[in-house]
């Protein structure tokens, strides 16, 4: 089994999230003979080239037909296969979204839908390829676990845990090559359990996906200015770790949510729903993507433009705190 | 089972479908349920391998009702073959019940999948047939589609791939009744050459009179060629068996009064 250590973390970070997913699934296949991996003609883009060579019988390319792919995944799962079905985020969550609803939701079949290149990682390929709305759509489907790993190490942890998890799941992969490292050593990873990465008495940044690393950077910048910001990695959006959220805001009294997703219906909304449901009143700054289809550019350029870098987040938090 | 017995099974299915439709006091999908009765009677009377006392038996053939609104024909077949009891069938469309207007996955009742959103069953059928091949199991997979349902593009995604994968143990049946929710298919989206369309996609296609049990059984028994998946295009009459419902699309989804029930049952007895 792949180990989380600084050497691997550096290597995976260079490879990026898609190739790391491919590395993890190749590793998991050794101990999971019932594994089947499906792709709608994006096997190589999903980092699956080595898996396809090593396990040709456990790979199915359905052609460019995501709806059919999700239905086939469900049929295989129904007969006992451990199925991972992959495509770019909008194609699997929305093009095949109703099939996800019927098969993974209504029938609760054991399929892991893996969204590659979610958020704005697809850069110049444009909004057609971005995962802007996928969290909002997927988290409304009853019974679906929704996971968004923070970095490549957490992608490995997620794939390992997902292979042993009996139930449908949406796994959202964000970030490009040279994904910043969050985890350089092993840690306790459980679906539905947020991980506190930094304590902070004045404000809590709750982030998911790539925004965890940016939030850690922001917290460092804030610390230099004497502001104590905590960072909570909410890798599982559903079921949400409401307890960890409440504990964190009880200490700091101020919440900032940070996500690479539209601010409608994603992590920030999930947190706000929980706060409202529990009658918890705290000032909440939502940082995410605007409610529009943005001008495309290279991934790094876009993060700058959209204020999703550590420095930009730190600025927003300072103004939120009035300091 | 002999042709006579399957015909008798079809007749008893129609009777019971009409009775439970009336008893529930609600609108029900009658037309498209009645058109598929002979195909279902052939499947559950002869073609499918299953154990009525153990619907979860792993070696069973798998049947998926892709045209989920044809559910009355499905429940009636499960009832006539002893998988579900009279009492269970009598719960049709009861509040909170298991037998609602579209199938809900329930292996204990012999219901293999949840349907209702059209165009999805053939994809699941591919997954199941592929699983059987990979696990070296010899069960077969059957998927029943509607002709109106074949408006859905996802049906043709699945049709393409099933042929590409040479899923010779996958059989589709198209209940080709030429009517859909809004009226005559020829005025909505013409599908006048269904068998040729499937054949062009690489299927072994057979056309039959979907109310002729002998033709249906022959088609089910006919070996496929070149490991192609098989499609039986069954020409049917929507509302078949009840003269005032036949080809009258107001019975696509309608409520059956006591008078209408009596009239319908009398017509069945005379036929």
- Give A147-165 pLDDT, tens digit per residue: 999 999 999 999 999 999 9
User: What does the pLDDT read at residue A271?
Assistant: 98
Find the closest chain B residue to A111 by CA distance: B127
pLDDT, one tens digit per residue, over B97-131 is 999 999 999 999 999 999 999 999 999 999 999 99
pLDDT, one tens digit per residue, over A79-106 is 999 999 999 999 999 999 999 999 999 9
Q: Say whether residue A107 is in contact with chain B using an 8 A CB cutoff.
A: yes
pLDDT band at A46 (very low <50, low <70, confident <90, very high): confident
How far apart are the C-alpha atoms of A42 and A61, rounded to whole Å?
8
Q: Which residue has the tokens 């592929």?
A: B130
Q: Which residues of B51-77 are buried (b: 16+ CB within 10 A; e: fewer)?
A: eeeebeeeebbbbbbbbbbbbbbbbbb
Q: Say whether residue A85 is in contact with chain B using an 8 A CB cutoff.
A: no
Domains of chain A: 6-174 (3.40.50.970), 195-321 (3.40.50.920)
Could you give the number of structural domains in chain B?
1
pLDDT, one tens digit per residue, over B73-95 is 999 999 999 999 999 999 999 99
Contact at CB, A79 and B120, closer than 8 angstroms: no
ipTM of the complex: 0.96
Q: Which chain A residues contact residue B130 at CB under 8 A?
A: 60, 72, 75-76
Contact at CB, A63 and B114, closer than 8 angstroms: no
List of chain B residues with pLDDT < 70: none
pLDDT, one tens digit per residue, over B135-156 is 999 999 999 999 999 999 999 9
Q: Is the predicted pLDDT of residue A107 greater than 90, yes or no? A: yes
pLDDT, one tens digit per residue, over A274-309 is 999 999 999 999 999 999 999 999 999 999 999 999
User: Which of the residues A33, A55, A75 would you substitute to probe the B interface, choosing the one with the greatest number of B C-beta atoms within 10 Å?
Assistant: A75
- Answer whether A80's CB lies under 8 Å from A124's CB: no
B78: domain range?
Answer: 3-270
How far apart are the C-alpha atoms of A258 and A248, rounded to whole Å?
15
How far apart are the C-alpha atoms of B117 and B114, rounded to whole Å?
9
How far apart are the C-alpha atoms of A238 and A172, rounded to whole Å?
12
Facing residue for A68 by CB, picked from B113, B132, B157: B157
Q: Say whether residue A57 is in contact with chain B using an 8 A CB cutoff.
A: yes
Q: Is the predicted pLDDT of residue A16 greater than 80, yes or no? A: yes
Half-sphere exposure of B212 (CA within 13 A, CB side): 11
Q: Say whether residue A73 is in contact with chain B using an 8 A CB cutoff.
A: yes
Q: Is the peptide bond before A216 cis (omega within 30 degrees of 0)?
A: no
Q: Cα–Cα–Cα angle for B76, B81, B87, nearest 5°? A: 60
How far apart are the C-alpha atoms of A22 and A41, rounded to whole Å?
15
pLDDT band at A145 (very low <50, low <70, confident <90, very high): very high
User: What does the pLDDT read at residue B148?
Assistant: 96
User: What does the pLDDT read at residue A62?
Assistant: 98
Sign of the CA dihedral with B107 first, then B110, B115, and B116 last: negative
For the segment A32-56, the average pLDDT, to the nearest whole number, is 95
How far CA A289 is from CA of A157, A206, A257, in Å, comes to: 27, 15, 12
Q: Which chain B residues contact residue A99 at CB under 8 A?
A: 120, 123, 154
- Answer whether B48's CB lies under 8 Å from B77's CB: no
pLDDT, one tens digit per residue, over A250-264 is 999 999 999 999 999
User: What does the pLDDT read at residue A44?
Assistant: 86
Task: Locate all alpha helices (DSSP H) within B174-235, ordered by sequence.
Answer: 185-188, 194-200, 213-221
How far CA B243 is from CA of A183, B29, B240, B247, in Å, comes to: 72, 16, 7, 9
User: What does the pLDDT read at residue B166?
Assistant: 98
For the segment A35-50, the average pLDDT, to the nearest whole number, is 93
User: Which of the residues B113, B122, B127, B139 would you substitute to probe the A interface, choosing the one with the greatest number of A C-beta atoms within 10 Å?
Assistant: B127
How far apart are the C-alpha atoms of A21 and A26, rounded to whole Å?
9
Contact at CB, A81 and B131, closer than 8 angstroms: yes
Q: Say whether residue B54 is in contact with chain A using an 8 A CB cutoff.
A: no
Facing residue for A72 by CB, picked from B104, B117, B123: B123
For the domain that residue B237 is a member of, what is the CATH number? 3.40.50.970
Question: Could you give the 3-state DSSP secondary structure of residue A265?
Answer: coil
- Please, which residues bridge with residue A287 across strands? A258
Q: Say whether residue A74 is in contact with chain B using an 8 A CB cutoff.
A: yes
User: What does the pLDDT read at residue A45?
Assistant: 85
User: What does the pLDDT read at residue B104?
Assistant: 98
User: What does the pLDDT read at residue A177?
Assistant: 84
């Amino acid at each position: 089994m792949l180990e989380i250590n600084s050497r691997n973390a550096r290597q995976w970070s260079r490879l990026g999230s898609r190739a790391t997913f491919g590395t993890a699934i190749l590793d998991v296949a050794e101990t999971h003979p019932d594994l089947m991996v499906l792709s709608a003609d994006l096997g190589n883009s999903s980092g699956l080239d080595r898996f396809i060579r090593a396990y040709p019988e456990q790979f199915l390319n359905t052609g460019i037909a995501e709806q059919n792919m999700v239905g086939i995944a469900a049929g295989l799962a129904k007969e006992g296969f451990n199925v991972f079905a992959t495509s770019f985020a909008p194609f699997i969550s929305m093009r095949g979204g109703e099939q996800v609803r019927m098969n993974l939701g209504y029938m609760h079949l054991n399929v892991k839908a893996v969204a590659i290149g979610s958020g704005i990682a697809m850069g110049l390929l444009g909004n057609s390829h971005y995962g802007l709305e996928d969290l909002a759509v997927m988290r409304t489907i009853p019974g679906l676990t929704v996971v968004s790993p923070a970095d490549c190490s957490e992608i490995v942890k997620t794939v390992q845990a997902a292979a042993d998890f009996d139930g449908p799941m949406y796994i959202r992969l964000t970030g490009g090559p040279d994904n910043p490292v969050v985890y350089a050593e092993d840690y306790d990873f459980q679906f539905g359990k947020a991980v506190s990465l930094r304590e902070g008495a004045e404000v809590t940044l709750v982030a998911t996906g790539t925004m965890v690393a940016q939030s850690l950077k922001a917290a460092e910048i804030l610390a230099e200015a004497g502001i104590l910001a905590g960072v909570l990695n909410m890798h599982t959006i559903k079921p949400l770790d409401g307890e960890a959220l409440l504990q964190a805001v009880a200490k700091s009294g101020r919440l900032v949510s940070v996500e690479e997703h539209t601010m409608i219906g994603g992590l920030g909304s999930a947190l706000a729903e929980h706060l409202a449901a529990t009658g918890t009143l705290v000032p909440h700054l939502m940082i995410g993507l605007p409610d529009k289809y943005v001008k495309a550019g290279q991934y790094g350029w876009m993060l700058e433009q959209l204020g999703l870098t550590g420095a930009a987040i730190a600025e927003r938090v300072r103004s939120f705190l009035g300091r | 089972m002999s042709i006579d017995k399957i015909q008798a099974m079809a007749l008893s299915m129609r009777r019971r479908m009409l009775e439970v439709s009336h008893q529930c006091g609600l609108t029900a999908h009658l037309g498209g349920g009645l058109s598929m009765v002979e195909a279902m009677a052939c499947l559950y009377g002869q073609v499918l391998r299953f154990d009525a006392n153990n619907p979860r038996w792993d070696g069973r053939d798998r049947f998926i009702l892709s045209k989920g609104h044809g559910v009355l024909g499905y429940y009636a077949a499960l009832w006539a073959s002893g998988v579900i009891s009279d009492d269970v069938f009598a719960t049709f469309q009861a509040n909170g019940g298991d037998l609602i207007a579209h199938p809900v996955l329930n292996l204990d009742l012999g219901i293999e999948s949840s349907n209702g959103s059209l165009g999805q069953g053939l994809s699941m059928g591919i997954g199941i047939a592929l699983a059987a091949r990979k696990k070296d199991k010899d069960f077969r997979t059957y998927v029943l589609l509607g002709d109106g349902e074949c408006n859905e593009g996802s049906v043709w995604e699945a049709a393409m791939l099933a042929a590409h994968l040479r899923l010779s143990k996958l059989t589709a049946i198209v209940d080709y009744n030429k009517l859909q929710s809004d009226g005559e298919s020829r005025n909505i989206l013409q599908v006048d050459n269904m068998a040729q369309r499937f054949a062009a996609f690489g299927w072994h296609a057979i056309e039959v009179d979907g109310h002729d049990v002998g033709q249906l059984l022959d088609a089910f028994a006919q070996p496929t060629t070149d490991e192609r998946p098989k499609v039986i295009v069954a020409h049917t009459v929507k509302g078949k068996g009840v003269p005032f419902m036949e080809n009258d699309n107001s019975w696509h989804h309608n409520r059956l009064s006591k008078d209408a029930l009596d009239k319908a049952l009398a017509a069945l007895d005379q036929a």
